[in-house]
Amino acid sequence: MSVQSLVLRHGKIEQRVYFAAVDAEPPQEFLSEREKAQLAGFQFAAKKQAFLLGRLAAKRALGALLLEPDLRQIEIRSGIYGQPLVHHPRAGSAQVSVSHSQGLAVALAFPAEVPMGIDLETVSAVAAETIISALEASAPELAWLATAGVDQAIAYCVLWTAREALGKALKIGLNSPLGVLALSDIRAIGEISSDEGSWAGRYLNFPQSQCLSQVQGDRVLSLAMPREAELNSQLQIS
Ligand SMILES: CC(C)(COP(=O)(O)OP(=O)(O)OC[C@H]1O[C@@H](n2cnc3c(N)ncnc32)[C@H](O)[C@@H]1OP(=O)(O)O)[C@@H](O)C(=O)NCCC(=O)NCCS
């Protein structure tokens, strides 16, 4: 799949960000020696696949941002909270946010000046009842769930991915009580049907951030970013 180039506006500043989605397990030539050793250490095939797809998506997005065609030159390590760290001679402030779900990985490469995070879930693979009990949904979220007009499992995925996307943007992951990352309001963008829609939300405890969520097929993708920032297009999973 090709890399999507987008323009991010924040006030008078415009910057390019790059989004990549990968769904076919690639040969390993794009990994650095360190990453190959890391891959060899994973016990389970599913973890290996997620790592490969995620690293390729991340490197494709970063390759476009850093103008680096040789993806072995870009290395992604992990910080102590699991956050991805970009290593490259021209990395500068480049960052990447990664998510994998059920054979698909997505990555967004962006400058650290504009903190962003993404999260992807596969609707048919989630246990809706488990999600709703873990969410610690806020009162506005409960009100939205009752009137959203979209399939319940999709709605739960929207609220879940909104939390994870912000957790990644803040680099804390989901290591805080999930209610801390709840939304204070959520509104549909355009037409909603039972299995399609896009939403914009704001966070209860992080008023400087916003969330954009969308359903594409069986997947829900959420993006957390500064409230005043705007992207010129939706992220395209396929
Ligand atoms: C962030 C987190 C929830 C992602 O988990 P996930 O849904 O299984 O996985 P995703 O595919 O969406 O995202 C994984 C990627 O997120 C990124 N990530 C992990 N921790 C991150 C953090 N603190 N900040 C930013 N990004 C992070 C990594 O790039 C990771 O991919 P990689 O390990 O291949 O590099 C997880 O790593 C975490 O914080 N765990 C804490 C404990 C927990 O799981 N709580 C669940 C409460 S019910």
83 in ligand 1 pocket by Cβ < 6 Å? yes
Helix (H) or strand (E) segment spanning residue 219: strand 219-226
**Does the pLDDT value for residue 120 go beyond 70?**
yes
Q: What percent of the chain has pLDDT over 70?
A: 100
Using CA positions, which residue lies closest to atom 39 of ligand 1? Answer: 173
Residue ranges per domain, the chain?
4-113, 118-231
Residue 149 three-state SS = coil
- Assess contact for 20 and 3: CB atoms under 8 A: yes
Q: What are phi and psi of 22, to 5 degrees?
A: -135, 130
Average pLDDT over residues 121-133: 87
Helix (H) or strand (E) segment spanning residue 222: strand 219-226
pLDDT-based confidence at residue 168 (cuts at 50, 70, 90): very high
Handedness of CA 195, 201, 203, 209 (dihedral sign): positive
pLDDT-based confidence at residue 58 (cuts at 50, 70, 90): very high
| pLDDT at residue 1, as a whole number | 64
Q: What are phi and psi of 206, to 5 degrees?
A: -135, 70
> 118-231 has which CATH code?
3.90.470.20
Q: Where are the beta strands (DSSP E) in 65-190?
A: 75-78, 84-87, 94-101, 104-111, 117-122, 183-188
pLDDT-based confidence at residue 132 (cuts at 50, 70, 90): confident
pLDDT-based confidence at residue 238 (cuts at 50, 70, 90): confident
User: What's the rounded Cα separation, in Å, for the pair 71 and 74?
Assistant: 5
Residue 11 CA to ligand 1 center (angstroms) comes to 30
pLDDT tens track for 72-88:
999 999 999 999 999 99
4-113: CATH superfamily: 4'-phosphopantetheinyl transferase domain (3.90.470.20)
**What's the token pair of residue 10?**
């924040």
Looking up tokens 């779900």 gives: 101
| pLDDT at residue 101, as a whole number | 96
CB atoms within 10 A of CB 101: 22
Backbone torsion region of residue 25, taken as left when φ is above 0, otherwise alpha when ψ lies between -120 and 50, otherwise beta: beta
82 in ligand 1 pocket by Cβ < 6 Å? yes
Closest approach atom of ligand 1 to CA 101: 11
DSSP label at 178? G
∠ CA 233-197-154 to the nearest 5 degrees? 125
| pLDDT at residue 28, as a whole number | 82
| pLDDT at residue 212, as a whole number | 98
pLDDT tens track for 176-198:
999 999 999 999 999 888 888 99
Residue type, 146: A
207 in ligand 1 pocket by Cβ < 6 Å? no
Helix (H) or strand (E) segment spanning residue 47: helix 45-66
Q: What are phi and psi of 85, to 5 degrees?
A: -120, 130
167 in ligand 1 pocket by Cβ < 6 Å? yes
∠ CA 118-119-121 to the nearest 5 degrees? 155
| pLDDT at residue 126, as a whole number | 83
